[in-house]
């Protein structure tokens, strides 16, 4: 038996590529986006009452990670990328039906649009449903997850003076907390967990419409080298 679903909207996100997106929501509060609803859900009736809600669950599709053959085991970054576990014990993007879920802060509600923060969603992500976060039911005081029992350790983010000036200038132009976004995302170390550190290797990712480049001058430290407008 099969079922078909259709998106109720699409996310316009600060994340333009998968690399450097936080592996869980809420880890980068400065990460913002807008959920643009499609007809008939872009009418005011569909979001009536959401102004009383601070957070929502989004059910969405990993639209750039859909696979024809389901995976029974995956290698989560949290375990170093080398240890396999059952797919249902992780939140890996390789899902049997490509469905993900994130709890995000609802900043503002407009007809046809929801303004969000703390997101971990790629630009263009199709959203299948929205559900309000219910604190007494969704927060379980004695819950246990021995694979991911605490937030990942953060590493220090340093800036070249010229790169910080570039970031601040683009922050003013965009009207978005770009410097905080870069620091919050890079502090989680977006490199593949199995990759051997190399001080001379540079990395890059796109946030909003700028390309950010950085390297690892020594273990446990990131230095941002450049923040420039991305080529079209």
CATH class of 156-229: alpha beta
Instruction: State residue 70's pLDDT score.
Output: 83
3-class DSSP state of 208: coil
Q: Give 157's strand partners.
A: 222
- Res 16 pLDDT > 70: yes
Whether the per-residue pLDDT at 226 is higher than 70: the answer is: yes
The answer to whether the beta carbons of residues 57 and 101 sit under 8 Å apart is yes
Mean pLDDT of all residues in 115-123: 98
pLDDT tens, residue by residue, 137-186 = 999 999 999 888 888 889 999 999 999 999 999 999 999 999 999 999 99
Predicted confidence at residue 138, as pLDDT, reads 95
* Across 51-75, average pLDDT: 91
Residue closest to 157 by CA, chosen among 222, 228, 229: 222
Q: Which long-range contacts (CB under 8 A, 24 or more apart) does 227-231 make?
A: 227/163, 227/166, 227/167, 227/170, 227/178, 227/182, 228/166, 229/170, 230/16, 230/206
Per-residue pLDDT at 150 = 83
What average pLDDT does the chain have? 93
Strand, coil or helix: 147: coil
From 177, 184, 176, 181, select the one nearest 156 (Cα to Cα): 184
pLDDT for 76: 77
Q: How many helices (H) and strands (E) does the chain have?
A: 4, 12
Query: Which residues lie below 8 Å from residue 90, measured CB to CB, with a gap of 6+?
Result: 74, 76, 78, 147
The percentage of the chain sitting over the pLDDT mark of 70, rounded to a whole number, equals: 98
The confidence band for 212, taking pLDDT boundaries of 50, 70 and 90, is very high
Average pLDDT score over residue span 107-135? 97
Residue with the larger pLDDT of the pair 67 and 210: 210
More confident residue, 103 or 219: 103
66 vs 181, residue with greater confidence: 181
> Tell me: domain 9-136, CATH 1.10.10.10, correct?
no
**Fold matches, 9-136 and 156-229:** no
| pLDDT band, very low/low/confident/very high, at 55 (cuts 50, 70, 90) | very high
pLDDT band at 80 (very low <50, low <70, confident <90, very high): low
Q: In this predicted structure, what is the pLDDT of residue 15?
A: 98
Q: Where along the chain do its domains lie?
A: 9-136, 156-229
């Amino acid at each position: 038996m099969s079922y078909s679903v259709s998106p109720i909207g699409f996310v316009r996100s600060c994340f333009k590529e998968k690399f450097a997106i936080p592996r869980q929501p809420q880890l980068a509060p400065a990460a913002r986006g807008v959920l643009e609803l499609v007809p008939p859900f872009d009418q005011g009736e569909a979001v009536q009452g959401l102004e009383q809600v601070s957070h929502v669950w989004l059910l969405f599709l990993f639209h750039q990670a859909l696979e024809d053959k389901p995976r029974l085991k995956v290698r989560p970054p949290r375990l170093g990328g080398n240890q396999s576990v059952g797919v249902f014990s992780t939140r890996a993007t390789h899902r049997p039906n490509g469905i993900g879920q994130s709890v995000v802060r609802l900043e503002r509600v407009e007809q046809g649009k929801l303004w969000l923060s703390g997101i971990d969603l790629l630009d263009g992500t199709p959203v299948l449903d929205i559900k309000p976060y219910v604190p007494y039911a969704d927060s379980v005081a004695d819950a246990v997850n021995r694979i991911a029992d605490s937030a990942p350790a953060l590493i220090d983010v340093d800036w070249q003076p010229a790169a910080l000036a570039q970031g601040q200038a683009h922050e003013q132009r965009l009207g978005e907390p770009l410097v905080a976004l870069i620091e919050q995302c890079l502090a989680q170390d977006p490199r593949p967990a199995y990759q051997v550190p190399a001080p001379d290797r540079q990395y890059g990712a796109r946030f909003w419409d700028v390309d950010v480049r950085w390297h690892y001058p020594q273990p446990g430290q990131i230095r941002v080298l450049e923040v420039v407008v991305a080529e079209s």
